[in-house]
């Protein structure tokens, strides 16, 4: 392809000028996002080993699978790889699935459509690139299409994903609103998937709180899905960011929703499931977070509510942390430093001591009692009774009369 066309296409989707090598890289990564489906580990491996441009050229030139496998083996270094024969077989299958999609006209169309909607192409190494997704290894996205603000991308460094059921209950929507607003107040960006229910409410509350919010889509960023969230996504573009690894024109499919979930989990520091049925798709996002070693939280709800069953399942079976408010969600990312106090205890240390409880049990608000009487009633020694009474007198809980001790009535304090 002509260098001039490549430069023109690159300039449409990148800030600043691109040199010829840069323009070729933009074209190649765009092409890769068209020929391989999201999460294609072999595409990630080949691009990682050879580079996006040489890898694409190898596919176009119909380089044989055995040769490509040898090239991978010679540069892969300490990357865990299958046995050479298996690798060659996998490369062969990959070439078979990529070749039917090779069509440079479609790449050009996607890049022009991106320019039309002012979508930019992010590639690994860009300052705006969300570093978290690199933890996906060979399954990391090869490029990301972005509409929105750079500062929303920078805010991903301190972000929490709020996900949950599309068919959320009123309880779930309330949770999403409280959680999103509370996390924004604590300086977090809110990551979600722009779906109906929990996702939409999480984005909306973040916008209403003037926080950063980032939506990952399962199709191209030129066509918002679901269509009814067009206005919401337009508002997210204005102050946050809408991202996708799929080129403009790509339709969302079930597979792409599942793969999109891995980006939500990887781009944020922790994932919280607010409401989810027993087989909710948000459990898939939770599974990705757990696989990445990201902290995972789930909000409990009534055990009688099917839309909380998935959350309880995550707590019971997948060691998700039980989180009940925004403060606890924030703690998933790191301990709160201002707490100061030690571990809380079931036996409240600030309340009365055992001896004091027993002395109070033995006192009356009406008739005064002697130390000896209190000792007999409480089953304590007179010495211990005197000690407890002294502390309680300081608090004003008991009082000494001429005839003995009484418990101060609440109204008299």
Round to whole Å and give the CA distance between 50 and 95: 15
Instruction: Work out how close the CB of 244 gets to a second copy at its nearest, in angstroms, rounded to a whole number.
Output: 15
Round to whole Å and give the CA distance between 16 and 306: 51
Instruction: Work out how close the CB of 239 gets to a second copy at its nearest, in angstroms, rounded to a whole number.
Output: 29
Q: Which of residues 180-239 bind a second copy (CB under 8 A)?
A: none
Q: Which stretch binds a second copy (CB under 8 A): 62-70, 182-190, 372-380, 396-404?
A: 372-380
Site string for a second copy, 54-93 (x = CB under 8 A): ---------------------------------------x
Site string for a second copy, 33-52 (x = CB under 8 A): --xxx--x------------
- In this chain, which of 60, 65, 73, 360 binds a second copy, going by CB under 8 A? 360
Q: Which stretch binds a second copy (CB under 8 A): 69-77, 113-121, 170-178, 394-402?
A: 170-178
Report in angstroms the alpha-carbon separations of 128 from 33, 125, 241.
19, 8, 11
Ramachandran category for residue 36: left, alpha or beta (phi over 0 → left; psi -120 to 50 → alpha): beta
Secondary structure of the chain: what % helix, strand, coil (to 5)?
Answer: 55, 10, 35
Residue 334 sits in the site that holds a second copy (CB under 8 A): no
Return the axis-axis angle of helices 20-35 and 52-60, rounded to nearest 10°.
Answer: 60
- Cβ atoms within 10 A of the Cβ of 140, count? 21
Q: Which stretch binds a second copy (CB under 8 A): 54-62, 65-73, 219-227, 368-376?
A: 368-376
Distance between first and last Cα of the chain: 89
Omega prior to 226 cis, within 30 of 0: yes
SS3 121: strand
Round to whole Å and give the CA distance between 46 and 67: 12
- DSSP-derived letter for residue 128 is T
Residue 357 sits in the site that holds a second copy (CB under 8 A): yes
- Cβ atoms within 10 A of the Cβ of 394, count? 9
125 or 351: CB nearest a second copy: 351
- In this chain, which of 234, 324, 367, 403 binds a second copy, going by CB under 8 A? 324
117 or 360: CB nearest a second copy: 360
- Cβ atoms within 10 A of the Cβ of 348, count? 8
Report in angstroms the alpha-carbon separations of 318 from 78, 270, 295, 322.
31, 15, 11, 11
Residue 255 sits in the site that holds a second copy (CB under 8 A): yes
Q: Which stretch binds a second copy (CB under 8 A): 9-17, 59-67, 143-151, 293-301?
A: 293-301
Instruction: Work out how close the CB of 39 gets to a second copy at its nearest, in angstroms, rounded to a whole number.
Output: 9
- In this chain, which of 73, 376, 391, 408 binds a second copy, going by CB under 8 A? 376
Q: Which of residues 378-397 bind a second copy (CB under 8 A)?
A: 378-384
SS3 412: helix
Q: What are phi and psi of 118, to 5 degrees?
A: 50, 45
- Cβ atoms within 10 A of the Cβ of 366, count? 7
Residue 407 sits in the site that holds a second copy (CB under 8 A): no
Q: How many residues bind to a second copy according to rule CB under 8 A?
A: 65
- In this chain, which of 315, 330, 332, 333 binds a second copy, going by CB under 8 A? 315
Residue 325 sits in the site that holds a second copy (CB under 8 A): yes
Residue 286 sits in the site that holds a second copy (CB under 8 A): yes
Closest CA to 88 of 53, 45, 31, 57: 45
- DSSP-derived letter for residue 273 is E
Residue 104 sits in the site that holds a second copy (CB under 8 A): no
Residue 372 sits in the site that holds a second copy (CB under 8 A): yes
Read off the tokens for 16: 């600043």
User: Footprint of a second copy on this chain (CB under 8 A)?
Assistant: 35-37, 40, 93-98, 100-101, 171, 174-175, 253-256, 258, 279, 283-284, 286-287, 290, 299-304, 308-309, 312, 315-318, 321-325, 328, 344, 346-348, 354, 357-358, 360-362, 372, 375-376, 378-384
């Amino acid at each position: 392809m002509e260098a001039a066309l490549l430069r023109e296409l690159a300039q449409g989707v990148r800030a600043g000028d691109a040199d010829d090598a840069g323009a070729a890289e933009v074209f190649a990564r765009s092409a890769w996002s068209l020929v391989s489906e999201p999460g294609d580990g072999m595409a990630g491996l080949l691009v990682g080993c050879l580079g996006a441009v040489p890898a694409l050229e190898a596919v176009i030139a119909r380089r044989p699978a055995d040769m490509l496998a040898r090239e991978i083996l010679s540069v892969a270094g300490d990357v865990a790889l299958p046995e050479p024969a298996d690798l060659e077989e996998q490369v062969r299958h990959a070439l078979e699935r990529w070749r039917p999609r090779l069509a440079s006209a479609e790449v050009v169309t996607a890049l022009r459509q991106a320019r039309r909607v002012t979508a930019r192409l992010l590639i690994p190494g860009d300052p705006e690139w969300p570093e978290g997704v690199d933890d996906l290894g060979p399954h990391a996205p090869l490029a990301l299409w972005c509409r929105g603000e750079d500062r929303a991308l920078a805010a991903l460094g301190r972000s929490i994903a709020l996900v949950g059921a599309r068919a959320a209950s009123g309880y779930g929507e309330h949770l999403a609103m409280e959680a999103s607003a509370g996390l924004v107040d604590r300086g977090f960006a809110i990551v979600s998937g722009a779906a109906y229910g929990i996702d939409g409410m999480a984005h909306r509350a973040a916008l209403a709180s003037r926080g950063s919010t980032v939506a990952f889509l399962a199709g191209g960023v030129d066509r918002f899905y679901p269509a009814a969230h067009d206005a919401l996504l337009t508002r997210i573009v204005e102050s946050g960011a809408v991202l996708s690894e799929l080129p403009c024109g790509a339709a969302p499919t079930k597979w792409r929703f599942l793969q999109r979930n891995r980006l939500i989990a990887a781009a944020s520091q922790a994932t919280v499931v607010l409401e989810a049925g027993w087989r909710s798709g948000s459990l898939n996002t939770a599974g990705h977070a757990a696989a990445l070693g990201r902290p995972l939280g789930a909000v409990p709800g009534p055990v009688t509510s099917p839309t909380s069953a998935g959350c309880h399942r995550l707590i019971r079976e997948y060691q998700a942390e039980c989180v009940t408010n925004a403060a606890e969600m924030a703690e998933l990312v790191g301990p709160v430093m201002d707490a100061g106090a030690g571990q809380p205890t079931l036996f409240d240390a600030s309340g009365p001591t055992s001896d004091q409880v027993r002395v109070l049990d033995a006192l009356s608000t009406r008739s005064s009692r002697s130390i000896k009487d209190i000792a007999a009633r409480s089953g304590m020694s007179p010495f211990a009774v005197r000690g407890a009474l002294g502390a309680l007198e300081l608090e004003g809980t008991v009082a000494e009369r001429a005839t003995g001790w009484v418990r101060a009535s609440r109204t008299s304090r």
